[in-house]
Structures are given as C-alpha cells and as structure tokens.
Amino acid sequence: MRSKKMTGGLEKAPHRSLMHALGLTREEISRPLVGVCNAANEVVPGHIHLDTIAEAAKAGVRLAGGVPLEFPAIAVCDGLAMNHEGMSFSLPSRENIADSVEIMASAHPFDALVLIPNCDKCVPGMLMAMLRLNIPAIMVSGGPMFAGASGKADLITVFEAVGKVRRGEMDEEELAKLEACACPGCGSCAGMFTANTMNCLAETIGLALPGNGTIPAPTAERVRLAKTAGMKVMELLAQDLKPRDIVTAKSVENAVAVDMALGGSTNTVLHLPAVFAEAGLPLTLSIFDQVSRRTPNLCKLSPAGAHHIEDLHRAGGIPAVMSRLAEKNLLHLDVATATGRTLGENLADLGAKVLEPEVIRPADAPYSKEGGIAILYGSLAPEGAVVKQAAVAPAMMQREGVAKVFNSEEEAVTTILNGGIAAGDVVVIRYEGPRGGPGMREMLTPTSAIAGMGLGGEVALITDGRFSGGTRGAAIGHVSPEAADGGPIALVQTGDRIKIDIPARTLDLLVDAPELARRARNLVKPEKHIRSPLLRRYSRLVRSAAQGAVYKEEE
C-alpha cells in the first residue's frame, strides 16, 4: 500500500505516533488510508451541504474496510464573484485547487482518493489532480440545485431581470421577490451552466459514477451516491484501477460528444483540454469542432431552453443521453469507468433509456444536427473563438454589425444599461483574456444586460474573456490571440464592421490589411496595474485560452 511510506516499518514509529494523535487505532493505521477532499464552505451555495456528502462518502469507505481522512479545498462562487475584481481570481483557482490536492496527497501518501467538489473551477481542478496523481480515485459532486419559482427560474433569470428593471418591464419590488425564490437551496445553479456541465462530463469520462451530474443536491439519492462512491473507491484500489487507466483518447471523444449533445457551457473548451493534458492527451479546438459537426444537439437546458437539470435527471440523466448517442455509434462503449465496468456494460446494467423525449430528443429529431458549441476562425480570431451555438437565436447565426469597443467589462456594462447599445451593434470587450484580465473574467453581466434590455436577438458580444455557462445569445468568447498578446481584437475600433457566420465557422474583422498593419504599429495598450501578487504570477505563467489557459511548460 502507498500509505506504508508513511506508516510502515520501525523508522515510521514517530509517524504512527502522530496518527494515534488523530484518534486512530493501530488497526486503522494498518488499513488502506483514503484521502477525502471536501470543498465544503459557507460561501458557495453549491458547497454549503458538502459536509453531508463527505460524511456519506466516508461511511462508504469505512463500510468497505478503508480509513477515510478528510482535508479541505477552496471553491469560488462565480455568481458572487461576477462583475467585480473577484472574478479575476476564479479561473486561477482551478490551478490552485489542483496543486493543493497534489500537495496533500503527496505529502501524505494516501492509498486512494475521494474528491468532493461541485462548482465551476473546483470540478476541473480536482479532475486535473486525479489524473496528475494517478492513484485510485473517484469523484462525487454535491449535485445540482432545484430550479426556483415553481421550477421556472434560476440564477440567470435574476441576472436578466436587472436589464428588465432598467427598461421598465419589471419593478424593483418584483425583482426583490424573484431574488428570494430563484435559487431555493443548496446545489450548483440549476441550468446546464459550467458546474453542472463539468459534473455531467466527469460522469461521462468515467471518473464519477452514473448519476453524478444530475441527481439533485438536497436528496437522499445524492447521499446514497456518495456512500456508494466511498465503497467503490475501495474496489478501484483492490483492482489497482487508476484514473489514467480510465481516461484515454476514446474518453476524450466521448466527453466532447456528450458536451455537444447537451449544449454545455463554453467553459468546457477551457477545462477539458486542461484536464486531459494531465494525462498527456491533447485536446485541440479542432477536435471540438470535428465532433460538433457530427454530434446532434439533443437537449435545450437553461439558458438555451426552459428545462433544468432536475428535468434531465427525470428524463434518464446522462446515461439516457449516452444511449441516444450510442444508437448512432457516436460513443466508444469499450472504455473503462469508475464502476469497474465498461461504459457499454454500465448502460446495459442501468437499462439506460430516455423517459421524457421532450427533454432528451431522439438523435433523428434533434434540436440541431450539430452540437451545442462551435469553434470560429477568421481575421478576428486566427487561433479560434468559441460560441454556444445552441443558445443563439436563428437570426443571429449570420450577422454583420458595427463594433462598439470597450477595454473592460465595467465600461461595457455601464453603456449597455444606460441605453448606449442599439440593434445591429457588436459589443467588443477586450483585455479580459487569461493574461490581460488577468484571469479571463466571465461576461455574464453584460450578456444578461443585453438580454434584459430586449436586445438578445439583435446584438452580438465578442470578447477575449469568457462566458458563464448561463450566458445565452450571440456571445463569442475566448478570442485568440487575446488583446494583451497583440491579437487582432486589440486593433478593432468603434465603427468597424464585423462579420459573424456561425454555420460557416468564421469571425472576420472587415478592415483591410494595410489599415490593420498601421494600427498595429501605433497600438498603445491600456495600462493595468495588477496589485495582487497571485494575479501577477498568473499573468506571467498562463497560456492562451486556445490551449486551455493552463500554465506554460517548465523551461
């Protein structure tokens, strides 16, 4: 056992003495030691109940003969961090979480790990750590929040209501009532936003058990799942089945295919490459586009449609989505999973089928023949840009408009809410990329403001920053190279024309090459004083969004 490095032999008597100080008996010290990383805190609604999940997981470990040892992880609530300097710290927290799990599981050589995240950067951070450490491990998330206001509202409803108040469609008393009921309790926000997308994909790639992505947070079913995960990790240990045995090149394609079928968050284009890179598996933007072109979009979950994660769960969950894709030979069913069985065996054991076809459409009658995410290239984005095409109105799929340029999110939001954006405009927000932000802030506030102002079907937003999984509309992010690296987005001027053609996968700045060359020679970047030592370090180390915004290779 790996833990014998810490507990075995005469010379480890001092170590055992410290473990006795924890209250452990000699019998417990001799058993497999399982690290349980619990991201519970009293700040993030998705994490406020994770102590309950951790206790269930630890009970499962004990039932199967192991000894659980709990340690913490941080988590940022992107909703609370939105539209102020706090959002700069959200994406960097992913690397911090991965590093901290590595530190704890290396300094204290556990035999196996159970990882308990729920929200946006915590899930990919823990997945990265699992693959980096490559010891038997399983993930069990805290699960999704129920939708609020009798199943009709979620956090995005409130964000968009701000714009409705500004345009007089809703008064502040109505907004206050909505605030109080849109998020009714614990769990990750109720739509197919980033946290829920990543929890569903953790299940898809086999590092979490079936049900991980969709079982609602406040239910006994979620507690039972956690208990089962604790028992299952002991089986993985006995089989010596490790994360890199489970995650292969075939798993990469499966993850992207399910992401496209779900119409998941554009942030997966950042997180999946970062996760798979830890296993030495490349995932480029071109793979996303190739899989998107052949994978039908089967679900319209909030923000793209009216359904929420609880509806997806009732419809059969991720196994039902995968059964639809399997019918069309769009999945590799021979891949290993954390159940100890192959994906195909799991689907057969579960009798996976769609229970509500209005939630998960047949592959022959999808919402669209292509997946939920598209990758665009062109003179404005030579290295690529990302759009959730499943959430774009048909009229905005092809559009030429006039640029209104802003060097920060705050500038843009002020102008939008003050009525300074009109139908046909293309809002360009730059210097918000991984380096330039720094931290690649989410642009949920401006996109929600555009929707709330009634312009969602008339105005596009383009940025080198990123979007919340809750963003809808013609919101094109991750424009690479970013402005801070001298990308073409730095050269756009208010009044320029921009052409968007999502079906053709193009994004072009309609300014001739000599003029762009002149602008490049005269480019003056806005000064940005970064006070935080962490963000200064991040800005120096981070790579392009097109490469998952991971850290640069060691030189």
Query: Beta partners for 26?
Result: none
Mutual angle of helices 533-541 and 90-107, in 10-degree steps: 90
Q: Is 468 a catalytic residue?
A: yes
End-to-end CA gap in the chain: 34
Characterize the bridge pairing of strands 425-429 and 137-139. Answer: unpaired
CA angle 288, 94, 240 (to 5 degrees): 80
Contacts from 338-344 at CB under 8 Å and sequence distance 24+? 338/138, 338/206, 338/207, 338/208, 338/209, 338/232, 338/236, 338/241, 338/246, 339/206, 339/209, 339/210, 339/232, 340/232, 340/235, 340/236, 340/239, 340/241, 343/206, 343/254
User: C-alpha angle 461/419/487, rounded to 5°?
Assistant: 30
Q: Which two tokens stand for residue 195?
A: 């946290």
482 within 8 A of 543, measured Cβ to Cβ: no
CA–CA distance from 229 to each of 39, 53, 295 (Å)?
Answer: 16, 10, 30
Contacts of 224 (CB under 8 A, 6+ apart): 56
Edge-first strand order for the sheet with 33-38 is: 67-72, 33-38, 112-116, 137-139
Give DSSP secondary structure letters for 486-498.
T-GGGG--TT-EE
The residues pairing with 427 across neighbouring beta strands, listed in sequence order, are 404, 461
CB 219 within 8 Å of CB 328: no
Cα angle: 117, vertex 24, 242; to 5 degrees: 40
Q: How many helices (H) and strands (E) does the chain have?
A: 22, 12
108 CB contacts (<8 Å, ≥6 apart)? Answer: 6, 33, 35, 69
Which position among 251, 468, 480, 544 bears the catalytic label?
A: 468
Task: Break the chain down into helix, strand, coil percent, rounded to 5.
Answer: 45, 15, 40
DSSP 485: G
Cα(139)–Cα(71) distance, integer angstroms = 15
C-alpha span between 193 and 212 (Å, rounded): 15
Query: Catalytic amino acids?
Result: 468
